[in-house]
Amino acid sequence: MASHSERAGAGIDWDARYVAGDTPWDKGAAHPALLARLKTLPITGRVLVPGCGAGHDVRAIAAEGAAFVLALDVAPSALNLARSFPKAGNECYQEGDFLTGNAVPPGSFDVLFEHTCLCAIPPERRADYVRAAATALRDGGLLLAVFFTKPENPNLDSPPFRCDLAEMTLLFSKPLRCHAAGIAL
């Protein structure tokens, strides 16, 4: 059976990347746009963070009082790293492939925070991501995203894959019955 890392896409062994310390996307802190958002409008309720990596965003959301934050990743080493930090609130780290739609109970989250998961998967798998997000979010749930419109890596054949805002709007407008709000970078 294929590992979660292999099924998640892009032909990348994400666990091996964490073991080797080859994680240029990890800036050592929560994303500044998320921190700015949390200052003006806290994220509450049950929150899902797919592709959580070292959990910096997870801890920032949990510290602001979210009822529960589930951090999901395919890489056990990323989760071990995330768990090595002190808990900031009610967060939990779980190994799983978000793209299958089987990693979390349907309709169990009020908010899905997207930061580095979507840009890490091949563009042809984005419909799988949308289906999984629609499954995870309750009706009326919030998708809050940091989309990489200008990734540092100009190579279009490997992650991070560019997230064109027009494509993101089209991709997320119909399948989700939730309010979508994006932060573009």
Kindly indicate the confidence band of residue 178, based on its pLDDT and cuts at 50, 70 and 90.
very low
| Fold classified for 4-21+30-184 | Rossmann fold (3.40.50)
Report yes or no: 86 and 65 within 8 Å, Cβ to Cβ. no
What predicted TM-score, i.e. pTM, was given to this entire model?
0.88
Q: What is the pLDDT of residue 83?
A: 98
Q: What is the pLDDT of residue 3?
A: 47
Tens digits of residue pLDDT in 53-63:
999 999 999 99
Sheet with 137-147, edge to edge strand ranges: 91-95, 68-73, 46-50, 109-114, 137-147, 179-184
Q: Give the residue extent of every domain in the chain.
A: 4-21+30-184
Tens digits of residue pLDDT in 128-166:
999 999 999 998 899 999 887 776 665 566 678 888 888
Distances (CA, A) of 152 to 29, 146, 159, 162: 17, 14, 10, 10
| Coil, strand or helix at 10 | coil
Averaged confidence pLDDT in the chain: 85
